[in-house]
Structure 1
Amino acid sequence: MQIRFINYLDKINLYRKSKISNRNFLIVLAVIVGILAGVAAAILKSLTHNIEEFLQSDWHWKYKYYLYFIFPLIGIFLSVAYVKYFIRKSKFETGLTPLLYAISKKSSKVETHNIYSQVITSAITVGFGGSVGLESPIVTSGAAIGSSLGRFLGLSYKEITMLLACGAAAGIAGAFNSPIAGIVFAIEVLLPEFTIPAFIPLLLAAATSAVVARLFYTQQLFFLVTEGWKMDALFYYVILACVIGLFSIYFGKANYAIKAFFYKFKDPYTKVIIGGLALGALVFLFPTLYGEGYITIKKLLGGDYMAIINNSIFQDYNTIPAVVVLFTIVTIFMKSIATLVTLGAGGNGGMFAPSLIMGGLIGFIFAYTINLSGIAHLNVANFTVAGMAAALGAIMHAPLTGIFLIAEITGGYILMVPLMITTAISYGINRKSQKHSIYTKGLAEKGELMSYEDKDTTVLSQMKLRYLIEKTYPQLHLNDLISVKMNEIVQSHKNICAVTDELGDFKGIIYIEELFSEMINNPNKDTLTVSHLVREAPNTLLDKDDLKTVLRKMEQGNVWLLPVIDENNIYKGFVSKTSIFNKYRALLMRQNDNMV
């Protein structure tokens, strides 16, 4: 049945290729991906906000507020339980790192279940108070739509990758109603090298998704009222950028520390209990940490500077400026911890919203404090917006995404210069300390990141030695008679033989030229055994060696091929430079095709 379906699909593809070019067909598919991703974004936002509304407003019980301690725990528990019982055959991963890994190592294959599982788990996590964002899940969901559609239609790697990027761009566009930011994100994070033809599908997918999402969900994220920026405030924007750059470095280090803490616990429900209770306590003390946290930024942009402390147990002190300043600073650091605890405990969400919230709060408290001091009078809303862009650009290593996203969702295009300055400086400070973002560092350390700065290393990291081993070389045993094995050696057309004992333990090599010379000149050639001709190999390769190590060993010995053994010294075969270079060229061509 499956074979018949595949054959039928192949016939459809052949007919389609005769009627429409691949480029035009890709444009059609990009629109389809945009529609589906837009619907997914609308469903995710509506589902999340309905859960929040029910828990906070619709459900009435006089003891309800005591449950706010455990709401986050319930959300994380339900997410973990869903993954355990409903995603059994596939691995479930969160964040953008698996997406980058799929492009680098899995031929852009994103598991189909991500289309719905990301929506369900992130809505539950955030709706119950998990201090993360919805953007990374919807990006993964959109990418899964594009990847699944491309694989279903039997498209090539470059076409599937393009549809994956279209889905990711559409996810951002639908979640934020920001098509330009979606396109920039796809180009900056997923497709750092691209050509103009690749831009067209991204544009259509993002625009379509924004339209579709707006049909279902019309709520505006932020409103910014500003008269623009002033020249004498540029100095303070630079100072703000430096502060956020340093904070982004702290956030990166905190990310790895909290991940390492939760990694120690093997039982997922232990993580849920520890993380859920800790998060519940943080949300109780700092209400801004509940869910995405956008409502606080909305109020700050509207001039309600007490919003961050109101509804907390410290609200009676909201008339004391020093308390507001201190409470906000502590909230910023607690937001970083709450976000990382949510993810470490098993919740699903992303860093987009937390980055925006932390950056916005830093920008707010910076301008608010300067104004209180009397040093200068700064536009608090402008600095809040600039902080959001700077934090997103620095933490995610996506400065252009930060600039255009904030400009779109706030309508703050008039602040483009401050946005550019703060984002560029904060990104530069973070990049100086951390070459890779929090999403890419783990992949880079494992050699699994597709890098466009060092293509040689990237392509070599994609190659696995075990797939390059040639097993057609003659394998002789120490006690074998040369005369008996002569016919096998000649027919192999190889210039070298491997020598092992009866158990396969590697002993050395024999060069065919020396063997022929010995057979011609040695009067005792009929009794000549392999042990008389074996010699030590110039070097050996372990089957777990990476390709950079393989090439270095070959250069050290000035040889074209080397034997491969495992950790027990068992012979596996030979690897030649020819096979490495052929595979290298094939992968390089595939990588370049992806950008066409």
Structure 2
Amino acid sequence: MSSRPPLTEVILVQAPARLRALVRGSEIGLVLLAALVGCGGGVAVAALIHLTQAMREALYGLSPGMRLSAATGLSPAAVLLAPAFGGVLLACLALLLRWRRRPRRAIIDPIEANALHGGRMSVRDSSLLTLQNVISNGSGVSVGMEAAYTQFCAGLASRLGLSFELRRADQRTLVGCGAAAAIAAAFGAPLTGAFYAFELIIGTYSIATLTPVAVAALCGSVVARALVGQTALVTLDRADAVTTTVLTTADTVPGLVLGLICAGLGILIMRGVTLVEAGFRASRLPALLAPTVGGLCVGALALAVSPQVLSGGHGALHLHLEAHGTGLALPALILLFVAKATASAISIGSGFRGGLFFASLFLGAIAGEIFAAGMPLVLPGMVAFGLTPLAYAVIGMSALAVAVIGGPLTMTFLALELTGSFPITGLVLVAVIASSLTVRKTFGYSFATWRFHLRGESIRSAHDVGWIRSLTVGRLMRREVPTAALDQTLSAFLRKHPLGSPSRVVMVDEAGRYAGIVLVPEAHAALREAEEGEPGLGELLRHPQDVLTADMNAKVATAIFDRTESEALAVVDDLQSRRVIGLLTESHTLKRYSEELDRQRRAVLGEAG
């Protein structure tokens, strides 16, 4: 089944023709559209924040505005059963969709949409995922809401772009604007939102995308701040961050080590989610019951360790990033890290919807505290370094988040916008580079692209590769192909194909199957040079085993041309029947491939098509 939404859903409402022309023909029009997306994203994020908070307050009896992961005195029954109740709600939603006979299909997220589908997303699917994420986060399981924010806002941006019939590059940019507005609104950090779009959603930074993405991020942040009372996660001044007057080169060493440690922890967390999913599948537990069981496990962990393992962890992270921290001892910090990582893996692995964005921030902060507390025990001399545990928490937060989510500059700007400390941001940059490089070279995936890999997709980022998949052999091949029977004599063949006729003839056997290619000039030369009798056509066949199929893309076809050293290859319907349906030349393939590469280059540079 095709992953694209039906046309009736994609273009539900068309913008007026003159307005479409204004947006398509003017960069200012695209910027205005991005501002609209940003404002809408800010409203959407604010609404989702209020909705999930209201659900947690109702289930756990929280006072208004109280964050679940920072709450104390919670009812043990609520802590144990509320996450399982979320699993029951997800099961009821799944049954409702089955009853309405909604077709099951993979929901396309913004990264996949921009990588493969030119920014085309389904608003219906995005709304469904958002509802599932609201139920999951609102019931208290250990998932964040950032996946819902970006999915919903990017889905709305995609629908808006399709209604204006934007060009492929502009459509992808507008999807990035939706994601930028979502992240900027969630954290009150426009730079973070903009670079989240550049690094993770659009896949590249260019002058052409700078203005619309930045405008969307700023609008989303401003609108959300007006609608939601956001408190800073950390208020960090130089006295809180460092104990020495000047940060030296030696101060980067522990940050670098912490970045490498966080890279390993991030890989373990991503692997852990996969192992939990495999465990639930191996248990043969009905899929509808898995979230309920997972919710019970998360509730039990919260009862046994701390309510800080619940929900996304906003309140708990605020506690850990306060100037004086939580005061937890090293064993308690290690236990909390293990419990939170396990709760996140169970939540996602059992079927709850959500992401690891905020969980990775919280886990990274704990890892930084553990690192600061453990350094004097491992290397007593390292206590002389000028950073406080709070600074290590900020560095660890960014380093572990970049290992799981990706986006080194995104996490660096997040640290800068949260702390306002340039010295700490410099150390964060060192740590995130070390973490990102280590994960990329040893594991090769972020959490999102790792999920694509498990589904069989080969994409590693949001960089646009969809055009390569659409540039198929079936689109490029010539369908009028001269064929001839292999069982005829060479003389009969040459009478039908004199010099000056098409230089290549595709040969087929008595069953109509592809047998090879005969070059007409070579066949004439073979007859002239024959000393006794005439050779058979079978002796002149080239590439009897080398064929293309219509569904191959141009990149794969080019690799086959290089391997076979052939100037042309036959195209068959499939490798079993081998019925000839066309012929493709290497020169035409390279020409079209080069044209598309040049078009992509111009789009990145913002040049006219």
Matched, 1:100 2:121: no
The match for 1:213 is 224
Matched, 1:44 2:48: yes
Give the C-alpha shift of residue 508 in structure 1: 2.9
Query: Which letter maps to 2:546?
Result: T
The match for 1:437 is 446
The answer as to whether partners of 1:473 and 1:496 remain within 8 angstroms in 2 is no
Give the C-alpha shift of residue 57 in structure 1: 1.3
**CA 587–359 in structure 1, closer or farther in 2 if over 3 Å, else same:** same
Give the C-alpha shift of residue 58 in structure 1: 5.5
The match for 2:426 is 417
Give the C-alpha shift of residue 35 in structure 1: 1.1
The match for 2:561 is 554
CA distance in 1, matches of 2:19, 2:134: 41
| 1:440 partner SS | helix
Query: Which letter maps to 1:558?
Result: E
The match for 2:67 is none
**CA 542–28 in structure 1, closer or farther in 2 if over 3 Å, else same:** same
The match for 1:277 is 296
Residue 391 (structure 1) aligned to one of 383, 400, 419: 400
The match for 2:366 is 361
Give the C-alpha shift of residue 46 in structure 1: 1.1
Residue correspondences, number: 564
**CA 22–481 in structure 1, closer or farther in 2 if over 3 Å, else same:** farther
Give the C-alpha shift of residue 105 in structure 1: 1.4
**CA 592–268 in structure 1, closer or farther in 2 if over 3 Å, else same:** farther
Give the C-alpha shift of residue 291 in structure 1: 0.3
CA distance in 2, matches of 1:587, 1:196: 20
The match for 1:525 is none
**CA 481–115 in structure 1, closer or farther in 2 if over 3 Å, else same:** same
Query: Which letter maps to 2:504?
Result: I
CA distance in 2, matches of 1:89, 1:112: 15
Give the C-alpha shift of residue 204 in structure 1: 0.8
The match for 1:123 is 134
The match for 2:547 is 541
Deviates more, 1:493-502 or 1:162-171: 493-502
**TM-score (norm. length: structure 1):** 0.81
The answer as to whether partners of 1:158 and 1:593 remain within 8 angstroms in 2 is no
| 2:429 partner SS | helix
The match for 2:215 is 204
Deviates more, 1:177-186 or 1:510-519: 510-519
Deviates more, 1:221-230 or 1:199-208: 221-230
Give the C-alpha shift of residue 582 in structure 1: 3.5
**CA 485–37 in structure 1, closer or farther in 2 if over 3 Å, else same:** farther
Give the C-alpha shift of residue 386 in structure 1: 1.9
Query: Which letter maps to 1:361?
Result: I
- Give per-residue Cα distances to partners, 1:59-117, cap 9 Å, x unaligned: 9xx996335334323324433543564492463438xxx43222121112121224533
CA distance in 1, matches of 2:377, 2:83: 36
The answer as to whether partners of 1:114 and 1:140 remain within 8 angstroms in 2 is no
The match for 2:261 is 243
The match for 1:294 is 314
CA distance in 2, matches of 1:352, 1:379: 25
The answer as to whether partners of 1:166 and 1:202 remain within 8 angstroms in 2 is yes
Matched, 1:589 2:598: yes
The match for 2:197 is 186
Give the C-alpha shift of residue 186 in structure 1: 1.2
The answer as to whether partners of 1:395 and 1:438 remain within 8 angstroms in 2 is yes
**CA 581–83 in structure 1, closer or farther in 2 if over 3 Å, else same:** farther
The answer as to whether partners of 1:76 and 1:130 remain within 8 angstroms in 2 is no
Q: Where do residues 442-591 of structure 1 align in structure 2 (5 Å cutoff)? A: 443=452, 446-449=457-460, 463-478=471-486, 494-501=502-509, 503-513=511-521, 535=541, 537=543, 539-543=545-549, 550-565=557-572, 566-572=574-580, 573-591=582-600
CA distance in 1, matches of 2:403, 2:31: 33
| 2:166 partner SS | coil
Give the C-alpha shift of residue 353 in structure 1: 0.4
Deviates more, 1:171-180 or 1:580-589: 580-589
The answer as to whether partners of 1:299 and 1:307 remain within 8 angstroms in 2 is no
CA distance in 1, matches of 2:409, 2:508: 58
**CA 29–115 in structure 1, closer or farther in 2 if over 3 Å, else same:** farther
Deviates more, 1:556-565 or 1:382-391: 556-565
The answer as to whether partners of 2:144 and 2:354 remain within 8 angstroms in 1 is yes
Matched, 1:327 2:343: no
**Structure 1 unaligned regions, length at least 5:** 309-323, 523-527
Query: Which letter maps to 1:589?
Result: D
**CA 184–63 in structure 1, closer or farther in 2 if over 3 Å, else same:** closer
The match for 1:176 is 187
Query: Which letter maps to 2:194?
Result: I
CA distance in 1, matches of 2:515, 2:163: 49
The answer as to whether partners of 1:170 and 1:182 remain within 8 angstroms in 2 is yes
Give the C-alpha shift of residue 516 in structure 1: 7.6
**RMSD between superposed Cα atoms in Å:** 4.1
**TM-score (norm. length: structure 2):** 0.80
Give the C-alpha shift of residue 458 in structure 1: 9.3
CA distance in 1, matches of 2:203, 2:405: 14
**CA 355–32 in structure 1, closer or farther in 2 if over 3 Å, else same:** same
The answer as to whether partners of 1:104 and 1:462 remain within 8 angstroms in 2 is no
Give the C-alpha shift of residue 270 in structure 1: 4.8
Q: Where do residues 8-157 of structure 1 align in structure 2 (5 Å cutoff)? A: 9=14, 12-14=16-18, 17=21, 21-57=25-61, 65-79=76-90, 81-82=92-93, 85-86=96-97, 88-89=102-103, 91-93=105-107, 98-157=109-168
CA distance in 2, matches of 1:592, 1:67: 55
- Give per-residue Cα distances to partners, 1:349-370, cap 9 Å, x unaligned: 1121011010011112333445
**CA 223–305 in structure 1, closer or farther in 2 if over 3 Å, else same:** closer
Query: Which letter maps to 1:554?
Result: F
Deviates more, 1:122-131 or 1:84-93: 84-93
**CA 241–58 in structure 1, closer or farther in 2 if over 3 Å, else same:** closer
Percentage identity across aligned positions? 22
**CA 303–18 in structure 1, closer or farther in 2 if over 3 Å, else same:** closer
**Structure 2 unaligned regions, length at least 5:** 1-6, 64-72
